[in-house]
Amino acid sequence: MALASAEILGKAPGNTSHVSEALRYHEERLRPSTEPLQAASRKLAAWYIPKGTFAYHIWNFLLKITPYYSWLVSFHVNSLRSEIELT
């Protein structure tokens, strides 16, 4: 996402005549793809940030026994692919 943002911001001066217009152009181009990603991240935060000490230890235990090629890994790979497609 950062590379896509940098590319958009790098092209902005060629499409605009002022810095504030370039930043507005950048925002307009990037916002549609970042809003769904931010919403999904907020929903997933509960999975990765346990609310208490006991939940933290359970989560760590589950991660240790989860095989590398699991649903968790495939979920992350698919999430990254969808993020790449949005940019």
Residue 14 has pLDDT above 90, yes or no: no
Q: What is the reported pLDDT for 29?
A: 86
Q: How far is CA 62 from CA 51, 67, 77, 84, in A?
A: 16, 10, 19, 29
- Rounded to whole angstroms, how far apart are CA atoms 49 and 63? 13
What range defines the domain where residue 34 resides?
2-86
Q: What is the reported pLDDT for 44?
A: 83
For residue 23, give the nearest of 12, 34, 33, 14 by alpha carbon: 12
Q: What is the reported pLDDT for 42?
A: 86
Mean pLDDT over 14-31 rounds to 84
Residue 22 has pLDDT above 90, yes or no: no
Q: What is the reported pLDDT for 54?
A: 94
- Rounded to whole angstroms, how far apart are CA atoms 35 and 85? 14
Task: Name residues whose C-beta falls within 8 Å of residue 80's C-beta, 6 or more positions apart in sequence.
Answer: none
Residue 16 has pLDDT above 80, yes or no: no
What pLDDT, in 10s, does the model give residues 38-81? 888 888 887 778 889 998 899 888 878 877 667 777 887 888 88
pLDDT confidence of 83, banded at 50, 70, 90? confident
